Amino acid sequence: MVWGCFGGSKVGDLYRVKGILKKEGYDSILQRHAIPCGRRLIGANFLLQQDNDPKHSSKLCNNYLGKKCKIDEEVTHKAWLNRSNILFAGTDKWSLDRRVSLVNSNTSDFSIQIERVEVADEGLYTCSFQASNKPRIAHVFLIVQVPARIVNISQDVSVNEGGNVYLFCLAVGRPEPTVTWKENKYGLMSEGEFLDITEIKRHQAEEFECITNNGVTQPDIRKVKVTVNYPPMITDVKNMPAQLGKTAILRCEAMAVPTASFEWYRDDRSDNTLRIKNEKTRSLLLFTNVTDKHFGNYTCFASNRLGASNASMLLFRESLESFSPPFCPLFCPVLLPQEVDVALLSPPVSH
- Averaged pLDDT for residues 244-258: 95
- What percentage of the chain exceeds 70 in pLDDT? 70
Q: Residue 186 pLDDT > 70, yes or no?
A: yes
- Averaged pLDDT for residues 231-260: 94
Q: What is the pLDDT of residue 256?
A: 96
pLDDT in tens, 26-82: 344 455 556 565 554 433 344 433 333 333 332 233 333 333 445 455 777 888 999
- Averaged pLDDT for residues 225-232: 97
Q: Residue 15 pLDDT > 60, yes or no?
A: no
Asked if residue 15 lies in contact with residue 44, where contact means CB atoms within 8 angstroms, the answer is yes
- Averaged pLDDT for residues 90-99: 89
Q: What is the pLDDT of residue 241?
A: 95
Q: What is the pLDDT of residue 184?
A: 82
- Averaged pLDDT for residues 160-177: 96
Cα-to-chain-centroid distance, residue 92: 50
Mean of per-residue pLDDT scores for the chain: 77
Q: Which of 7-21, 157-171, 273-287 has the lowest mean pLDDT?
A: 7-21
Asked if residue 174 lies in contact with residue 65, where contact means CB atoms within 8 angstroms, the answer is no
Q: Would you place residue 91 in the very low, low, confident or very high pLDDT band (cuts 50, 70, 90)?
A: confident
- DSSP symbol at 153: E
Which value, to the nearest 10 degrees, does the dihedral of the CA atoms of residues 310, 315, 321, 322 take? 70
Q: What is the pLDDT of residue 174?
A: 92
Q: What is the pLDDT of residue 49?
A: 34
Q: What is the pLDDT of residue 332?
A: 46
pLDDT in tens, 298-333: 999 999 999 999 999 999 998 765 545 554 444 444
Q: Residue 342 pLDDT > 60, yes or no?
A: no
Q: What is the pLDDT of residue 282?
A: 93
Report the topology of domain 146-230. Answer: Immunoglobulin-like (2.60.40)
Q: What is the pLDDT of residue 38?
A: 56
Q: Would you place residue 12 in the very low, low, confident or very high pLDDT band (cuts 50, 70, 90)?
A: low
Range with the largest mean pLDDT of 170-174, 289-293, 338-342: 170-174
262: β partners: 302
Q: Which of 157-166, 193-202, 216-225, 338-347 has the lowest mean pLDDT?
A: 338-347
Q: What is the pLDDT of residue 76?
A: 76
Q: Which residues contact 126 (CB under 8 A, 6 or more apart)?
A: 80, 81, 82, 137, 138, 139, 140
Peptide bond preceding 219 in cis form (omega within 30 of 0): no
Q: Residue 223 pLDDT > 90, yes or no?
A: yes
Q: Would you place residue 267 in the very low, low, confident or very high pLDDT band (cuts 50, 70, 90)?
A: confident
Parallel, antiparallel or unpaired: strands 332-334 and 269-270: unpaired
Q: Residue 334 pLDDT > 90, yes or no?
A: no
Q: Where are the domains of the chain?
A: 1-67, 69-144, 146-230, 238-317
Q: What is the pLDDT of residue 326?
A: 52
**Domains 69-144 and 238-317 belong to one CATH topology:** yes
What's the CATH number for 69-144?
2.60.40.10
Q: Residue 227 pLDDT > 80, yes or no?
A: yes
Report the topology of domain 238-317. Answer: Immunoglobulin-like (2.60.40)
Asked if residue 9 lies in contact with residue 15, where contact means CB atoms within 8 angstroms, the answer is yes
Query: Which has more pLDDT, 143 or 108?
Result: 143
Asked if residue 51 lies in contact with residue 25, where contact means CB atoms within 8 angstroms, the answer is yes
Q: What is the pLDDT of residue 11?
A: 53
